[in-house]
Structure 1
Amino acid sequence: MATRLNSVLLGAIVGLCAFRVLAQNSETVLGVPEVNQPLYVAKDGKWACLSDSSIVIDSSQINDGICDCPDGSDEPGTGACGMSGPQFFCKNKGFLPRYISQSKVGDGVCDCCDCSDEELTTGHVFYRGANCSQLQLSFNKFVETELRRYEAGSRALKKMTAHADSSQKPKSKEELSQEISSLSEKLANSEKVLEGEKAEYLERLKTDEPLLYELEQLHIDKLARDVNEQFESVIKVSKAYEELVEILDGLVEGYSRHLQDLVVNDNVKKYQFYKQQNLLKLTCDSKNENGLRDQLMVYFEKELPELFSHGLSDKPAKYLQGKATFVDMLILSKVEYTEVVMEAVGKLREMMLDISENYNRNYQDQDVKKAVEAFKRYTSKYLSVGVVQMPQLLAEKLEYLREFVSAKAPELVTLAGSDIGAEEGGNGLMKQFHYLAQEIPRFFKPDIKSQIEKHQQDVESLRSQVTERRKDLNDIIKRDELGDDERTKSIKKLINDMCPYVENALDGYTYEIHFNGHIFQRANFGDQNQVSIGSFQNLRLNQDLALHKYQEYVRIKYSGDDELVQHLISETKDDKEEYLFGNLYQLNNGLELEFDHGDKCWDGPERSASVFVQCSEKMQINKITEVSRCRYVIELDSPYGCSQVFTYQPFTP
């Protein structure tokens, strides 16, 4: 044991002597950049610690392997002071100079490509890695690849810009204001003409078709739309119930009971009991309700107008009165029944929520996992489903329509009915003559209603144009208020002109990103439910984000060349990393798009997203990450992410 200890001590002494000799014979102090070498010039063989000039040591004690200064400044090349010492400077002649932490100095691994960090190592250097000339070749290839990528993306961007410039020049605030004024005047005149036509139409109906006139006063078209909207809500409630039952039925049929997952087993038992006691009594069929909805639309949009216009019914008055009552009661009962259905949906949701949050994930039951995933998609799809409430005004209108039809039914007589056949010859002939006397003038009379419909479309078109121009004007005003720089204004203008979008399938979903519109997520399974992740709010050119994303990109893209990536990183005193690729990150303009106010998550916030656009010739979505609940970060490639003013500048030490 004594012999071994003596050997160790002798080795240490020899090592210290080696440190001293190298420190004294070197022209420069190891581990210190050229610019800081003057700080290590000794006076009369003495040198003062950098952070405390009152501590003076012999110049031979610099890099001797013993930490004499509190700040470790006397050991820049040995690592003897640990983390308190300054970062070690790698000259890396023939490649990029960089700093490494003191913990990597003298550890037997060459972290500098010139291996200067192991120059004072007494032990064996067991890993050298690529030398500086090899790394320079790899770096040249890396820069060439990146510049080629930028040039391809830049060319594509220039083509888009040229196309946008060759199209209609964007209007100024003054031009837009004039257009809005002109269109608004046309709109006002068209609305006045339309109102006059409607008034004339109603006046003619008063005389020619008084029953149809009275029906028109009920605004039957609007009533039909409101009923359709109510039934859509009813059908969605039924579908929410049916799909939840389908998820639970699939779970019951497929999951492994022998795994003894108490949460799953308990909820399966609850479901089976609840189904037997309650669900078998429920009458819920979305397909049947969809058919009823179609029949109701035929009744409101076709049967009633034709009946009141031409009396085209061979049914007795009591039938017409009964059908009006049936329609009223059908709509009301279907709406009210959603309360019963939603009560069941609530119970079933509680069971699936308990399973989703608390099932034993260690069991790896595929059918349980399948049910949990299906429920996750279900909650997103049916987040807003609830008990359908019949608006009081709609209920009153339906009741009024029922009373109206019941009161007018006796007057609605048709020539095709049995009454005509019962007429005596003369009276029957006279009635047919009377019918023709009414129909012939109607046949030759200009179709005012069709004219009204056409003019209504014209009015809607003018309204849309006014709205669009006002939006363009507000965008310009908003940009002026934000004080965007010229590059930001340029990319905003280009995106507004071109309205770009990208669509990709990713992780079982198809994503559609409209740069100045919305982001949609559509499932590639089941009924392909679609949700909105958000609508466009603003964009900016974020250079800090461009640097951060480019660093990530380099680490991932060039992960196959670990040596190069490692030597492109210079470590700083505060444990941060500085990349030595010059201004390459500025080939990306830092385009960041912000989207907000998407569909609300189940029992959570509205969806929102930030989209970072990286320079590329192609358009594609690369990555979507949910960084917090219902908050997404999306990364995509596009020419719109390319800087229009980039010129490569290599790293300068």
Structure 2
Amino acid sequence: MVTIKHNLPCILAAIVLVRASSFVRGIAPQKLDLYQPSKDKTWTCLDGSKVIPYSAVNDDYCDCADGSDEPGTSACPSAYFYCANEGHIPAYIKSYAVNDGVCDEACCDGSDENGDLISCPNRCKQVGEAYRKKQSSLKKSTKDGLQAKKQLIDEAQKQVALWEEDQIKIEDEIILKKSELLKLERELKSLESRSRTKKETKVPKCQSGALEVATLKHDIVILKKEIDVLKGILGDMKRDHNHNFHDMAVKSAISGYDEFVARFTRVEARIDDNLVNINIEETGDLEAEEPDQDEGEGEDEDEDDKDQDQDQGDDENATKESPLVEGKHSVVDMVLDKLDPILPSVLKNGLLGKFHSHKVVTDVKEDAPSNQQALENTRKLVAEAKDQLNDLSNNLERIKKDLSTDYGADKEWLKLKDVCVEKDEGEYTYSFCFFGDAYQKSNKDSSRTHLGKFAKFDGGDELYKVHVHDRGTRCWNGPERSVRASFECGVKNEIIDVSEPEKCEYHYRLLSPAVCKSVADAEKDTIENSANNRKPVHEEL
């Protein structure tokens, strides 16, 4: 008995709370404590602006400026009514839709109508089951779509890697092709100069030597650039490789690289010094003497014989005097000889092998059929080299454009480029090509109208969910046609529907795995959308 007496106040308070709560219509359970009466049976508006009798709550008269005293009636239009919707998802509707004689879809439990005008059945069980079934299907579709998106991203990354590899190869080929073209053009110029004279005369040694030196200097510059590229690659490998992974081949390459860098600095200094000496010798040769071309034919023949003997002597003397001239491509061979013992095998095989394989022999053989034939052959080789160089440059520009194009945050749209989908809408069949064109084709006469070409992404915070196509065929007495395509997650790429809300402005709704999110993110968006659903399904007129 004593225990009951001590607990009686608590029991009575709980009974009062339950009774009070049962009369607060339109309030969420977690907010019921805000609607309890004070000891003197009054209640304070939630914005604190006014104290009213507790009996004035939900009396169909708006007392509070914030409308908080009428959560269960339509007296305060700025307030919200809470629908419990047991068996489904709770929702809010505007208070002006309460007791208006219309069963709101958002309140499947029918609690928005008190029965004075209409009685609404409780449909939450059926609505909840349909919703959960739809969500289950959506969840599976999202999961499958996400897997398809992952495949798109994987394929895109492989494609980007191939483009980057091709870019490096083409840039190397362009350097070598330019060198080859430079040599051929010099040879062509020499042959054309000879063909303009009545009798072929030998190019003075000083001029031919200058041309040869210029060619060899150009080759050395290319060779040094190639070495710098490979040094950078090996330097990156040394810096970024996994030190915990004991790959002996990698360690050996890094060790060879370290030794090479230490030695190459000294060798490079000697090469640069030799190049400076070549410049000095080249200048001296050009100032030596100019050939006299005004002498008679007989004298020319004698002079030719003398020049040949003199050239042989000069060559022997030059060989003795300068270590830079030791054969046909003496400077290049000298550089290669210096690099050969210090280069690691990975550099030696890749760099020197490629350099040797691309060397072009530019000297005209003494036993060629004729100077004219040699001239024609050289012109053909120059034209072919220019065409090849032009093709390489075009390929390089195309690859650079592909690499710089925005294909989505993870390149998820890349493999969809030029993929097309279409939908028959009865009178017309609409087509849509990713990063391409959109068309409207008449099903009566098969005439086709261009609706626009891809211009940009325009989805705001979710940029890649909306594609804009513009510059379509101009409407008669109207603007150019355009398309605004909105994408939703789906396993396949397909058009859901097409509408024309404004003249010549077409709205496409499409499905694509490229916009799919993870299941967790999709569920989060669904919950946020449900929580933000505070508007009634219908609006009063």
TM-score (norm 1): 0.42
Structure number with the higher helix fraction is: 1
